[in-house]
Structure 1
């Protein structure tokens, strides 16, 4: 990694930590994590969602593109290999290429329209239970291992805010 890239990454991490320390509500934490994710990963779509297992629905809590993916939007998630992997077993899902996206997303046309060709869905787990997802879509032919690791760390930072929001709702 070049010195310039290292310096930019350090600045992003330090700014994120400072903003998280000042976050008084989950939305502020989501804003900080979203900004850091897009700065570190480059252009793409990021959504942070709650998982409601009872009704089998994903609820969008934060979106980097609220016109295409508005906060508050909900999607039902029926039984599928994707659901079992991500939402039930709590395993990261990596999708690369149009066929992979079309196999798991019914809104693949919107995703294509945003120029995204690949996705990483990271489960947000609290006390060994999936409570949400952290989804980053971008134009990639393949996900570098370092980006996958960075997305998992950023997702872990979002988990307390998702939990706090859900706990506040009762």
Structure 2
């Protein structure tokens, strides 16, 4: 069941308020809360695409034990990398078959009780900056939830630019 229109507006108003304050950690927490309220998730991470597009680096995670901050993944030369990094398209993985197709760490994902995923590219001025990653139980995500998550991504463009600038 979709969240009510009022819930959606409340979430977006909260994101806009935090965005105006310029507090990146607060924004990441608010995006986490927004996505949880609007589509649900058991894991939320934010990843930068590193120069060259071969690796992604995590800088926000709701499960730092399994997915630590600053953790890197070589994703550029994978089918997922072709879809998300090269073509700037979102990934909707509805089940464990899709998770196995996309992620080399699918066994860790399964061990956490996760079996579906959404990755939304963060794109500013036609440049891929990174991705939102949300995961939940198998068959939790569908096209409607992906569409909602895609509406949240633009709120993160400036924050991702700042994260990349800090990398040097």
Q: TM-score, normalised by structure 1?
A: 0.86
For structure 2, the 5+ residue unaligned runs are: none
State the superposition RMSD in angstroms.
2.2
Q: In the TM superposition, what is the alpha-carbon distance from 1:158 to its structure 2 partner? A: 1.5
Structure 2: distance between partners of 1:45 and 1:132: 17
Name the residue aligned to 1:94.
92
Q: TM-score, normalised by structure 2?
A: 0.87
39, 42, 63: which is aligned to 1:41?
39
Structure 1: distance between partners of 2:167 and 2:72: 16
Name the residue aligned to 1:63.
61
Any idea what SS the aligned residue of 1:146 has? helix
For structure 1, the 5+ residue unaligned runs are: none
Any idea what SS the aligned residue of 1:48 has? strand
Does residue 134 in structure 1 map to residue 136 in structure 2?
Answer: no
CA 1:19–1:114: 2 relative to 1, 3 Å: same
CA 1:11–1:127: 2 relative to 1, 3 Å: closer
Ranges of 4+ aligned residues in structure 1 off by more than 4 Å? none
Q: In the TM superposition, what is the alpha-carbon distance from 1:47 to its structure 2 partner? A: 0.9
